[in-house]
Structure 1
């Protein structure tokens, strides 16, 4: 049996990405808001949950250049658990959402209102291809149309 560790979120960025310089490249930290609708007194209300996401590698380079506060994005990532030491000398288990592998995806669904609405996908494949719909951005990243047939899809 094949097991998977996959997280998929669609939400809005609460702030501009925070870039952290590492020994080998950069990391980008973002805060993503997702909404869960529910009924209260016959009215639809929304409960907002905030997710802290760490992005590494080529995904981080893309996120640092393209992501801005207010954008609606989709991410496919993994959930990672690690242990950190507390100030009191104890151990604390921390769960984090991480985008860093080839099969992970970072997709801009809607840009902030100051820009044109477009869709971009950054999937960190070997050929650095990125799917698009709409106006091409003026970056150095290469773009290609999304696969049309199942045979063109790359397996995980």
Structure 2
């Protein structure tokens, strides 16, 4: 069986670190993941995916990530049964994060917008004698 999820998105709120009665660190948070396909004439759509992180991963997320920050992670999808306030049985789908990674800009949003407006660096133009002509008809050496 195979159950692997790889996601990249933005946190919808600041994660909060909690502890189980046994002292194990845990955090739950939601990330907004944009869909790759946007129907013509419509705005981009996103899926909001619930994530659970345990122990050191939970502490890492709570220490270094905040609302709006881009995050990449991999883990597995798990389901959980529960009863809502009216007594109806419900099923929740969550991704259990195994590994969490930084992605996106380190700088605040305004600083990164200013950087993107700067001109790209210029590179020297190559000379025609910098390249050799290859004979396409010759035998390949491998």
Q: Same fold (TM over 0.5)?
A: yes
**5 Å matches for 1:55-94?**
55-94=53-92
Q: What TM-score comes out, normalization by structure 1 length?
A: 0.61
**In 1, Cα distance between equivalents of 2:14 and 2:106:** 11
Q: Which residue of 1 aligns with 2:34?
A: 35
Question: Whose radius of gyration is greater, 1 or 2?
Answer: 2
RMSD: 2.3
**5 Å matches for 1:1-156?**
3-23=1-21, 24-36=23-35, 37-41=37-41, 45-99=43-97, 104-111=98-105, 113-114=107-108
- Alignment partner of 2:66: what SS? coil
**In 2, Cα distance between equivalents of 1:49 and 1:90:** 24
Relative contact order: is structure 1 or structure 2 higher (C-alpha 8 Å, sep ≥ 6)? Answer: 2
**In 1, Cα distance between equivalents of 2:101 and 2:43:** 27
Paired residues of 1:71 and 1:112 also in contact (CA < 8 A): no
Mind listing any 5+ residue stretches in structure 2 that lack a counterpart? 113-142
Number of matched pairs: 109
**In 2, Cα distance between equivalents of 1:84 and 1:8:** 26
Q: What TM-score comes out, normalization by structure 2 length?
A: 0.66
**In 2, Cα distance between equivalents of 1:84 and 1:111:** 38
Q: Which has the higher strand share?
A: 1
**In 1, Cα distance between equivalents of 2:74 and 2:26:** 17
